[in-house]
Amino acid sequence: MSSCLDTNKQLRTPVDPNAPREKAAYETWIAQNAIPVRSESCDRDFSDLQPFGAIVGDKRIVGLGESSHGVGDYSTLKVRLIKYLHEKLGFDVIAFEYPMFQDYKVNEEIRSFSPKHAMIHGCYGVWWSSEVLPLFRYIKEQASTSHPLILAGFDIQQYMGLNGRAAAFREVIAPVDPAYADRVAQQDLAYFTFLLGYTYPVPRKWRHDLHAMLPGLTDFYSDVSAWMERHMTRLVAAAKDKKLPGLMQQVANTAPAYAQELYILNNNRSSSVRDEAMAADVKYLATRLYPDKKIILWSHSEHIALGKVGWKNMGSRIQDDFGDAYYATGLLPFRGHGAYNNGQVYREPRPPRDSIDAILYYTRWRWAYVDMSQPRRGAGDEWMWGPPLRYDTFGSYYMSPPATPRKLYNGLMYVYLIHPPNYLGPRGARPREL
């Protein structure tokens, strides 16, 4: 069988005379220490990923970020990394930046879904692409084995699945109190049907109505969670799915955060609210729903990062909870094209000097891995620890504040040339209810 891994000659990138020059020690260090990743997609041979595996193999949670949702190459590489982590290192859960209840239901029904149907119901439209589809095909295939890869979610933003979620509240609560179950289901559906009316720019009346609704909404879900806590033993005993009562309680715990996020127009404050709730969902996955399993997170790098992104983000909160058992991996480009969340294609700007992306160019590999989790190793690695550097976010080097690389991520995956995804559905479309 011929190798699907590239040789050094195939991996070498052309010399770019316009690439910004960095300190000679930085250029030398990165060229000598970056590990070549010899394929974006090869799943027959993972030998080139062993240095990555040696670092992350004993971690409980590995975050796989992306500087933009609209890069097909990131998705292709992440699918390969997930297969490696699952097959060789015992990671059994892939959790998307997507509503927890929705992905729980998709995972439960994955055997009856086509891979495309599972993808459309299991992740946001920014990932409905030919690059992500193989992951859902793999999840479906593995579901019939003794070593399944479990699909999960940790986001609080809710765009679909409302009827199914309300029905799940009713299903869980009804054995103990049918009348209360009906009230909870009706109110949950009413609240989130209203939130689905969110548009940008936000209509003044809609925001006024949301402000008036927030105290009651927050009290409602707090009361639901407290009621479920008091009756949890009976709820679990009556449930066909013994995990569902606890999961629905966690949904109630974080449900108000979505409304709060929509009301707060300041980006950093609203992002902090969302990331706090997402971190709580990740903690629930790791300690309650799947306490004996190792977890992979798929999300934007600004959620995955260890911190210093302008707000108290998800990754920093996960690190607070799990310490060194969490490993955050950022994905960064050098050149090419990506797509914004609305599908509009942008050209990746040339990295400025004193940016992480410009330093990574000097790996001179098409794909590369750089670990930053170890103690300082000597001359040339000061760029990891020194003054803040700029880095790409959605095709801009000025959207996020400069940061010290080691304070952002434990490791970096680098893609020299990026391309937009090959979308398989209209951007922004909402699939039908499950």
Helices (H) and strands (E) in the chain, counts: 18, 9
Q: How confident is the model at residue 1 (pLDDT cuts 50, 70, 90)?
A: low
Percent of the chain topping pLDDT 70: 96
Segment 386-425, tens digit of pLDDT: 889 999 999 999 888 899 999 999 999 999 999 999 999 7
CB atoms within 10 A of CB 39: 23
Q: pLDDT digit string (tens) for 272-331?
A: 999 999 999 999 999 999 999 999 999 999 999 998 677 899 999 999 999 999 999 999
Mean pLDDT of 21-45: 96
**Tokens, residue 65:** 């970020």
- Type of residue found at 324: D
Q: What is the pLDDT of residues 350-387, one digit of tens each?
A: 999 999 999 999 999 999 999 999 887 778 999 999 88
Q: Report whether pLDDT(236) > 90.
A: yes
What's the Cα-to-Cα distance from 119 to each of 104, 191, 343, rounded to whole Å? 13, 26, 17
Residue 63 belongs to what H/E stretch? strand 61-64
- Arithmetic mean of pLDDT, 6-24: 96
Name the residue among 63, 33, 35, 58 with its Cα closest to residue 47.
35
Q: What is the pLDDT of residue 2?
A: 67
- For the chain, the average pLDDT equals 94
Structure tokens at 324: 């060194």
Q: Which SS3 state, helix, strand or coil, does residue 74 take?
A: helix
Q: What share of the chain is helix, strand, coil (3-state, %, to 5)?
A: 50, 15, 35
Instruction: Please give the structure tokens belonging to residue 70.
Output: 């609209």
pLDDT, one tens digit per residue, over 146-183 is 999 999 999 998 766 667 999 999 999 999 999 999 99
